[in-house]
Structures are given as C-alpha cells and as structure tokens.
Amino acid sequence: MRDPLWKSTTILLKYKRLIAVAMLGAFLSAASFGGGVALLAPTLKILRDQSIPLADQVRHWLVRPDRWIFVQDFGDWLARNLPDDRYHIFLLVLISITFLSVIGSCGRYLHQLMTITVVQRAAMVWRGRMYRQVIHIPLIEQLRVGSADHISRVVFDTRPLMTAYRALLGKTVEQVLRGAAAICVALFWDVGLTLIGLICAPVIAVLLQRFGKRVRRATRRVLRTRGRMVGALRESTGAIRVVKVHNAEGYERRRFRRINREQYDQEMKIRSARALASPLIGTLGLFFVILVAGIAGYHIFRNENMDSEGSITVIVSLGLAASALRPLANLNHQLNEGRAAAKRMFELLAMPVEPMGKHRPQKNMPLPRHCQTVTLENLSFRYDDESQPVIDDVCLEIPFGQTVAIVGANGSGKTTLLNFIPRLLTPHSGRVLIDGIDIKTVRLRPLREQIAVVTQQSILFEGSIADNIAYGRHHAAEEMIIDAAKTAHADKFIRALPEGYKTMLGEHGEGLSGGQRQRVCIARAILRNPAILILDEATSQIDADSEAKINQALRDIRRGRTVFVVAHRLSTVIDVDQIVVLDRGRVIDQGKHTELLERCHLYQTLAQTQLQTSNASHPLAQA
C-alpha cells in the first residue's frame, strides 16, 4: 500500500515555482552556513601561526594535488591577491562571515515565506476536497458514520498534515542542507575522520523508525477520539436547553471527561517517544563526535605534522552537522502524525458519493417536469444495523396533482419511505418511477430541482431571512421571495422585524420563534415551485393561530403538483385525496379519512390518540 503521506504530497507539485524559489532560498542559507564554517580553519591559522607567509599557507591548504582543480585554481588566485597585513586579512574574514550571514538570513526568509505559502494553499485545497466529499456523501453513509467524525477530519486532521508538509519543505530541507554543508566541509579537510563520525547514521535511522511506528499508531487513535469529542460538544451545546431543564450538566461533564481522558491517555503514549527521541539521538551524535575528537587529538599530539586546524574544523563541522540534524528526530514524529492524518483523509475521500457533477453517469438523461404519476414499486429497505426491514414491499401509485398523507405509529417507516423519492436513500429492492421513468436512470440534480421538502425540524442557516428563503435559488428576484413569504403567511412578521427581509439570523435561525422558523422553511419550499412537495410533519411546530393559515396556504400551493404529507395532526389529513396507513414498513390500508375510520382498526386508534390529541376539537375527530 502506498504511503498516504507521500501520496498526499502530490498536491504540492501544483506549486512547483513556489517550491523552486523556496529551495533556492534554502540552498543560499546552507551555502552561506557552509562557507562560514569553512572559514574557521583559515581564521585559526591566521591567529596561531604568524611565522609562515599567508600566501604560502593558502597554497598549502588549497593548492595541493588532492584538491579539486577548481579549488586549486581558486587557491592560486587567492594567494596572489591577499594583502600582506594579517590584521587586514582577519578583518576581511570577519567581513566575509558577516556577508555570508546576511545572505543566509535572506535565504532563510525566502525559504520560510514560500514554504508557508505552499503549505497553506495545499491545506486549503485538501479542506475543500474533503468538504466537497462530505457534502456529496449519500445520506445512508452520513447516518452510519455521523457528522462529528467528518467535521473532525475536515477541520482538525488537516493540522497535522500541514505540520508534516511544513516539516518536509521547511525543516527537513533547511536542516539537511545545513548538515550536508557542514559534512562537506568536514570531508574537504579529512575524509577518514568524517567517515568515522558518520558511523552513527544507521543507528539513528533504526531508532527513528521504531519511535515513528509508535507515534503513528497513537496519533490515529488521538484523531478518532477527537472526532468523538466534537460529537459530544455538538450534542451538548446544541441541545443546551434540554441539558439544563433535565439537570443533565453533571452527566454531560462526566461523558466529556471520559472522552477527554481517553484522548489524554493516547497523547501520553506519544509523549514518551517524543521526549526520548531527541535527547537519545543527540547523545548518540555527541558520543560519535567525541570519538572523532579523541582520534583527532591522538594524531595531533602524537604527530607534529598533523594539520591541527583542519582536524578542529572537522570536529566542529561534525558537531554542527549533528546539531543541524538533531531536530530531524522530532521531524520523524511530525511526519508520522501527518501520515496518520493523511490516511484518515484518504479514507474520507474514498467514500462513495452521489452521482452528481463529474460522478454522474453520462448515459443518464434529465427528467422532464412531472405531470403523470409517482409510482413506488415493491420497495424494500433495511438499515445496516437492523435485522428487520424498515420498508417491506411497499407498492403505491399516486396520480399527478393528488395529495397523499402517510400516517402510522412512530418508527413505521414514514420518513424513510419519502426519502426514496428525492433519492436521499436507495431501496434495496424495488423502483421509484416518476411518469413511468425509473429515477435511477435520470440525473440527480434535475430530479431534485422538481422536489421541495419541509421537515419537522426548521432548518435555517446563518444569514438574512431573504437568503434563507432563497436558499438554493440565490438569483431569485426580491419580488419572488416576498410572494413566497406572503403565501407562507410569513411576510407580516418579517416586515415587523427591525431590518425586515435583511434581518440576520444566528446559528440554526436563532432570533425567530419555532413557528416563525417553520414558516420561513415553507416559504423556501414555495419559492422552488416544485412539481413534488414533501411535507414531513411540516406543521408540527406551528401554533394554533397560524395552523389554519398555513393549511390554507398549503391547500393553495397543492394545485398543479403532487404532495406527500407525513402528518400527526388531524386537520392535515382529513381533506387529502388519500391516506396511506403504514405499520412496520408495510402498507396495511389506504383510502379517505371516513373510509379508514370505518374499516381500519390501526387508523381508528391513530385518530383517537395520535391524530386526535393534537386537534381534539375538530369535528371529524369524533366521526
């Protein structure tokens, strides 16, 4: 299986130019660093040995058969052009080091600036792709996994991924180049001593791999727990009224404490690996540098012809290389955390999506506007975690323009049945036909453009009232929005607000009453001018004074469209064209209100309890 982190880095190739500029900055920084280290030996020589002319010393260091040709040529040129005054040469070395430091700082700035730009852009793209995936995942997958885990992946999992990218393009490149520059300087002065110091590299690589596996496993568990934490927070804060009324603050605190503790335990497992890696690797590096220093010291004190300045430069260079490469221990942890996040990201991106946009089959055709029948043909459906079918061999045929009420006890499958029409759910067997056309064979977007749904929950979004009415129809004219609000009996209370239709709503429509929110939702459905209207207990939150007006508005908009109603109120079902009675996912009877009162025992029970309770004074409740 391809490493998920490296697979995700392909997105960085979109920014080749920025990365090239970043690498140029990193190279300038490393070259300046190496140049400064390389000046160490000449500086020591100038300060220590004043008996030999500088030109001869330069030729001794650089113009030797074992040096590269370009080094010999540079040494010969330098020996001819050096000033005679040692103090002037010392000042020249200091100025050179200062110049190299300025160049290195400019290179580091350029490197970091381009790296951060690339990482932020990549993270933005991944968040966009994941959100696009989440918004197009089928409803059944949303119900199975839950929204909290998806939120955690989109919002939180990109953070360790960004850290890994920043480490790869930033810290890795910078530290590796600086370490490589120091090692090159060491190799220049003494190959044998340098190779002895590099013996520790395989040992460090093995240790990093062992620590990395532990960090990667624990990070995956941390990210999963973080998703559960988001779910607990959303539930408790979203239902804060219920929590407070039921004195459930203590229960919620304990539930959150358990999840919080579990995340703490997983993060503590990462702690020891993080804490041990850097000092252990640093100690190993120091041990081998001391080993090299001991060998170099032996040769210096036992061999008078030994180049002490070169040996000291090798020791210092290896020490600087070890110091530069020490942060790579933490880099390994960051990469493993990013690897765990990338794996969860690709799991989300691999989930199935609805056949829309680029995912839709090319052979599917648009659905003409509904004008004949809606047929439910032998529909059956069962949720994955249930052994019994929720919908069991349901057959219905509804002529265009009729209003059909679906009634039944709680859990009888009413909402599930209607979810098949806009293809929110797909039946395990059977078909849904609109005007004789199987909706599986038509494009999803044109199908849903003909359908409007008003649910029991008043779903509003942060924004103005006008924006909420025009949701999905953002180019609708203001007159159309106002007409829809009037039809839904919402215009009067909207105009009474300080800013009217421009009034901004809080999260979930905070600022309006339950009945007002529901009327805005009904206005949204009216504006769509649907051929099929689904009202899933749409008047359940409407007060008694508004209910008659809303029912009259719904009667008006029923003309010229097919309407499905899930009802718990008697006033909603008594004048519909037919009533379908569901029991445990099966249609046990259908007909008019008075007909069902005479022959259907379950409907009689519903009329006397569930339906009559909400409108006991209605005369037909006594029929």
Q: Given pLDDT bands bounded at 50, 70 and 90, which one contains residue 395?
A: very high
Q: Is 427 exposed, middle or buried (0-12, 13-18, 19+ CB in 10 A)?
A: buried
Residue 504 reports pLDDT greater than 50 = yes
Residue 615 reports pLDDT greater than 50 = no
* CATH value of 373-616 in 3.90.950.20, 3.10.450.40, 3.30.360.10, 3.40.50.300: 3.40.50.300
H/E segment holding residue 437:
strand 437-438
Q: Given pLDDT bands bounded at 50, 70 and 90, which one contains residue 623?
A: very low
238-252, 385-399, 452-466, 521-535: lowest mean pLDDT where?
A: 238-252
CA torsion, points 292, 298, 300, 306, in degrees to nearest 10?
-80
| C-alpha to C-alpha distance for 27 and 228, rounded to whole angstroms | 44
Residue 47 reports pLDDT greater than 60 = no
Q: Is 37 exposed, middle or buried (0-12, 13-18, 19+ CB in 10 A)?
A: buried
What integer best gives the mean pLDDT of the chain?
77
8 Å CB contact between 389 and 381: yes
Query: Reduced to 3 states, what is the DSSP secondary structure of residue 565?
Result: strand
Beta bridge partners of 420: none
Beta bridge partners of 582: 408, 587
Give the per-residue pLDDT at 343: 87
Domain pair 1-177+330-353 / 373-616, same fold: no
Q: Given pLDDT bands bounded at 50, 70 and 90, which one contains residue 357?
A: low
- Residue located via tokens 């339906």: 611
* Mean pLDDT confidence for 225-250: 66
Domain chopping of the chain, boundaries: 1-177+330-353, 373-616
Query: Reduced to 3 states, what is the DSSP secondary structure of residue 582?
Result: strand
Give the per-residue pLDDT at 91: 73
> Which of 555, 565, 556 shows the shortest CA–CA distance to 533?
565
* Mean pLDDT confidence for 76-95: 70
* Mean pLDDT confidence for 190-205: 65
Give the per-residue pLDDT at 613: 46
Q: Given pLDDT bands bounded at 50, 70 and 90, which one contains residue 274?
A: low
> Which of 363, 365, 317, 305 shows the shortest CA–CA distance to 178?
317
8 Å CB contact between 328 and 172: yes
Domain covering 1-177+330-353: architecture: Up-down Bundle (1.20)
Residue 235 reports pLDDT greater than 70 = no
Maximum mean pLDDT: which of 301-305, 352-356, 437-441: 437-441
Type of residue found at 133: Q
32-41, 286-295, 316-325, 514-523: lowest mean pLDDT where?
A: 286-295
CA distances from 148 to 227, 340, 364, 386, 618 (A): 6, 18, 33, 22, 43
Give the per-residue pLDDT at 567: 76
* Mean pLDDT confidence for 147-167: 83
Residue 378 reports pLDDT greater than 90 = yes
Higher model confidence: residue 349 or residue 44?
A: 349
Residue 134 reports pLDDT greater than 80 = yes
